[in-house]
Amino acid sequence: MSEDAAQYAVTPVTDPDAPLDVAAIRAQFPILERQVHGKPLVYFDTAASAQRPRAVIEAVSGFYETKNANIHRGVHLLSQEATDAYEGARTRIAKFINAPSRDELVFTRGTTESINLVAQAYLRPKLGPGDEIVVSRMEHHSNIVPWQMLCEQTGATLKVIPITDTGELDLDALDDLLTPNVKLLGIVHVSNALGTVNPVAEICALARERGIPVLVDGAQAAPHQRVDVQAIGCDFYCFSAHKMYGPTGIGALWAPMATLEAMEPYQGGGEMIRKVSFEGTEYAPPPGKFEAGTPNIAGAVGFGAAVDWLEGLGLDRVAAYEARLLAAGTEKLLTVPGLRIVGTAKRKAGVISFTLDGIHPHDIGTIIDHYGVAIRTGHHCAMPAIAHFNLPATARASLGVYNTVEEFDVLVDALNGVREMFG
Ligand code: PLP
């Protein structure tokens, strides 16, 4: 753990069984002190973007205050310190997901860019008419649209794994879809729209038997459970810092070195080269090969602080706390007349999508904002998943490690208020 993270760690990681001190965690989030429409903020929109603890805010501002300079190639001290901070963050983030090597961790703008990078730099050169890409119906648009674009570019076909009415993958259909034509399977680890936790290790094992590489979209898993890319057995893992209590505009792609080495560069420019001449250009080895241009240096530093902070809490304790919160919150929400939960998988993470009979989700969200409660309403960038339930939209309460059972009481009160308004 970095010094910054140690300063803010709530309970020693050496005691994995101690419950989280949520009051102490909340005290580390300055934004939770603010009021919204004169009411204390109740933030249930972590799946869209988490709030940031002081450890992250101060890591970013501290970088700008004391180390700011461009990285790599600089001979002056500030540049060397900035490089150490950037590359140090890479090392810690790689360790966070148990990557075998820090050089396998490519910084990107986030999950979306990571997936586009794989589509264009890995798959595009291998793909042609007759080839297939498989994704599921519960994917975020960022794990659908890049593949659709790639299919248009190459003549390949996108196939879709159906989902059940509980919001789980139809695993029999998946089995049938994994034919020799499939050149990549893209699957979400935890659905942002339904909360479903997919059995990614089993799916990767099945795909591996058939020689099909798997990309896992880990945007909603990395903040909420321990992620071990080696145990999962995937070929690509994508995640975003801002869902993990870190800054926006930074995320990562993990892939094994041999895969990264064999891939084409994604973008050309400075930083990604070893040697340039008009006779030809030699690329830098990974991860530099995929990081053209000046990167989001302060973002990487903040990302490193965010994973330190999560490690300081202990991912297993975070997962255990959020599971209890999800169970208690679900029970409370079900007391609201006419409330229906959309996505009732056996294995769920902290996302509760719901509808209220006869009331549009946007009305729900707008009204309860005046109770200080922030939820998200709409299709959650997962239109096909929501359409499966014959709905245009849902309301979604999503959890972070700072939420409490008492905040669900506020949400339930607010929803009952909505009910009364609509008679
Ligand atoms: N995948 C999932 C499951 C998500 O929830 C999100 C964001 O909501 C993304 C991908 C896209 O992440 P980003 O916008 O950080 O690239």
Distance CA 144, CA 185 (A): 11
- Of 237, 255, 178, 175, nearest to 211 (Cα)? 178
- Distance from residue 158's CA to the centre of ligand 1 (Å): 20
**Structure tokens that stand for 285 in this block:** 């080895």
What own/partner pairs with CB < 8 Å and gap ≥ 24 does 65-73 have?
A: 68/297, 68/298, 70/294, 70/297, 71/294, 71/295, 71/297, 72/271, 72/288
- Distance from residue 235's CA to the centre of ligand 1 (Å): 19
Mutate to test the pocket of ligand 1, among 46, 191, 242, 243 (most ligand atoms within 8 A of CB): 243
What is the DSSP pairing of strand 373-374 with strand 39-40? unpaired
What ligand 1 atom has the least distance to the C-alpha of 139? 3
**Residue whose CA is at the smallest distance from ligand 1 atom 12:** 111
Distance CA 92, CA 81 (A): 16
* CA distance to 91, 225, 376, 395, per residue, from 105 (Å): 8, 19, 31, 35
Mutate to test the pocket of ligand 1, among 46, 108, 111 (most ligand atoms within 8 A of CB): 111
**Residue whose CA is at the smallest distance from ligand 1 atom 5:** 192
- Distance from residue 123's CA to the centre of ligand 1 (Å): 20
What is the reported pLDDT for 11?
Answer: 44
Name residues contacting ligand 1 (CB within 6 A): 47, 110-112, 140, 142, 188, 192, 217, 219-220, 240, 251, 381
What is the reported pLDDT for 317?
Answer: 96
**Residue whose CA is at the smallest distance from ligand 1 atom 6:** 219
* CA distance to 10, 142, 156, per residue, from 152 (Å): 50, 16, 7
What ligand 1 atom has the least distance to the C-alpha of 114? 16
What ligand 1 atom has the least distance to the C-alpha of 189? 3
- Secondary structure (DSSP) of 286-333: TTGGG--SS--HHHHHHHHHHHHHHHHH-HHHHHHHHHHHHHHHHHHH
Other C-beta atoms closer than 10 Å to the C-beta of 271 total 18
**Residue whose CA is at the smallest distance from ligand 1 atom 8:** 48
- Distance from residue 226's CA to the centre of ligand 1 (Å): 18
- In CATH, the architecture of 63-311 is 3-Layer(aba) Sandwich (3.40)
Contact 316, 324 (CB under 8 A): no
Contact 208, 235 (CB under 8 A): no
CATH class of the region 22-52+314-417: alpha beta
**Residue whose CA is at the smallest distance from ligand 1 atom 4:** 219
pTM for the whole structure: 0.96
What ligand 1 atom has the least distance to the C-alpha of 240? 15
What ligand 1 atom has the least distance to the C-alpha of 192? 5
Active site residues: 381
- Distance from residue 408's CA to the centre of ligand 1 (Å): 25
Please name the residue that has the structure tokens 């042609």. 128
What is the reported pLDDT for 402?
Answer: 98
Mutate to test the pocket of ligand 1, among 118, 147, 216, 381 (most ligand atoms within 8 A of CB): 381
Distance CA 224, CA 18 (A): 17
Query: What are the extents of the domains in the chain?
Result: 22-52+314-417, 63-311
Per-residue pLDDT of the chain in tens (423 residues, 90 and over written 9): 444 444 444 444 556 677 899 999 999 999 999 999 999 999 999 999 999 999 999 999 999 999 999 999 889 999 999 999 999 999 999 999 999 999 999 999 999 999 999 999 999 999 999 999 999 999 999 999 999 999 999 999 999 999 999 999 999 999 999 999 999 999 999 999 999 999 999 999 999 999 999 999 999 999 999 999 999 999 999 999 999 999 999 999 999 999 999 999 999 999 899 999 999 999 999 999 999 999 999 999 999 999 999 999 999 999 999 999 999 999 999 999 999 999 999 999 999 999 999 999 999 999 999 999 999 999 999 999 999 999 999 999 999 999 999 999 999 999 999 999 997
What is the DSSP pairing of strand 394-398 with strand 376-378? antiparallel
Mutate to test the pocket of ligand 1, among 45, 46, 107, 112 (most ligand atoms within 8 A of CB): 112
Q: What share of the chain is helix, strand, coil (3-state, %, to 5)?
A: 45, 20, 40
Contact 143, 135 (CB under 8 A): yes
CA end-to-end span of the chain: 53
What ligand 1 atom has the least distance to the C-alpha of 380? 8
- Distance from residue 48's CA to the centre of ligand 1 (Å): 8
- Distance from residue 279's CA to the centre of ligand 1 (Å): 40
- Distance from residue 76's CA to the centre of ligand 1 (Å): 37
**Residue whose CA is at the smallest distance from ligand 1 atom 14:** 112
- Of 95, 58, 356, nearest to 226 (Cα)? 95
